[in-house]
Amino acid sequence: MDTVITRFPPSPTGYLHVGGARTALFNWLYARHMKGRFVLRIEDTDTRRSTQASVDAIFEALEWLGIDWDEGPYFQSKRFDIYLEYIDKLIDSGNAYYCTCSQEKLEEMRATAMASGKKPKYDGTCRNKELKKTDNAVVRIKAPLDGTTVVRDVIKNNIVFNNTELDDFIICRSDGTPTYNLAVVVDDITMSINTIIRGDDHVNNTPKQIIIYNALGHSLPVFGHVPMVLGSDKTRLSKRHGAMSVTEYKDMGYLPDAFINYIVRLGWSYGDQEFFTRDELIEKFSLENIGRSAGVFDINKLLALNADHIKLSDPDKITKHLAPFLNKLGFEFREGPFIEGVIKTLNARSKTLKEMAENAAFYFQDTISYQEDAASKFLTADSVEILNTLIALFEALESFDEKSIENVFVKIMEQTGLKLGKIAQPVRVALTGKTISPGVFEILNVLGKEKSINRLKMAASFIGDKKS
């Protein structure tokens, strides 16, 4: 079997959104699953709307998603000579021709067709005139006049188009620029693309592209048209449903592995399994399991899946994604045991990385600001003795780990008869400034001996200041 070669060809006229990201992911996963190749192509022939900012945003989104490419990026705007070469081939072979019909003439033939109840289309006026190239001439393909063009779709099965519904469509404009369908086919031929997975909004382009393939005498690629992604109300996905750019999800604190896990499930399934690692997706992905029904985007399901990925991911894999959120809060850190310890205490409590960073703030602060209600309830005169006892026992510890810390608390409980909560809550407020946090033993272990003792001393001093 030939090596599978897929592609992703975004137009740089905006940011990469959910639908485009899913298309890229399906092509990338299939190429990786089949040990094939994945090509990135930027379709920037619309020079009026294409921008470098959009190109950069697409690259940023793909990089964040972890979708790498084996070839490219190719830019259509730099390939015009290749397109014109293929247009000349089509003309020389008699499969295309120059057309000089004016706009008025085209409007007239459309009106005539509609008046007789026919589809408005080009009537072939210049088809057999063998005209030469002129400044106002376009180039049209010679489409078949009868029969059918069949799209053999691996997702939707065969889709049949009557050739009488098609016309001799333009493949090169009068200004010498190729049309979309011509450029796409030439690109896919010259880049050896043999598998095309794309949204089903392209279905109506496919018979035209098949006609161009046939005219060039080239074998057809595998086509697979994926149903669109819909919003929760089953209408076309828009910003009100969460159809933001991919980079916005990054900025909201989603893990890339959670995001690709979610969007791959918008149209693809593997039994009842919902949670997938990246490696599992590569191992299990197949075209056969892409469904024919539209995927429904649900931001709450994405959020829940993100929480699962944060909880189950190794801390060292979360660190680089968490870093920008901590930096934005003004905190700097080094990779290593400390930040991994921080993550371990918060990963089961955080739905997003943004939330994790906010909840981790107390680990990085030099001075703790106590919530008023927490301080009034737990940093009281009755707590000073507990805090001072802990300070003394902690200072005497040679090993400051969770087990040793727990033993200190047990010792105080035995000496005082107090329950753990009576001891732990003042300590929690002293360490974090809040009444809700990860486990006290975990926090002390991550903060370390020196920082923990300093915070307990600051809390005791705070209580002393209140008394005075």
C-alpha angle with apex 269: 267 to 275, nearest 5 degrees? 110
| Structure letter (DSSP) for residue 132 | P
Helix axes 420-432, 449-467, angle to 10 degrees: 100
The HSE-up count of residue 202 (CA atoms within 13 Å, CB side) is 20
> Quick one: CA dihedral 29, 31, 35, 41, positive or negative?
negative
Distances (CA, A) of 169 to 90, 179, 240, 400: 13, 10, 37, 77
b/e per residue 335-353 (b: at least 16 CB within 10 A): eeeebebbbbbbbeebbbb
> What is the SS3 assignment for 202-254?
HHHHHHHHHHHHHHCCCCCCEEEEECCEECCCCCECCHHHCCCEHHHHHHHCC
Exposed / middle / buried, residue 303 (Cβ in 10 Å: 0-12, 13-18, 19+): middle
Residues 6+ apart with CB under 8 A from 3: 34, 35, 36, 37
Please indicate whether residue 284 is annotated as part of the active site: no
Coil, strand or helix at 191: coil
- Longest Cα–Cα distance of the chain, Å, equals 107
Q: Which strand (E) or helix (H) includes residue 149? A: strand 148-153
Residue among 78, 129, 239, 466 flagged as catalytic: 239
Catalytic residues: 239
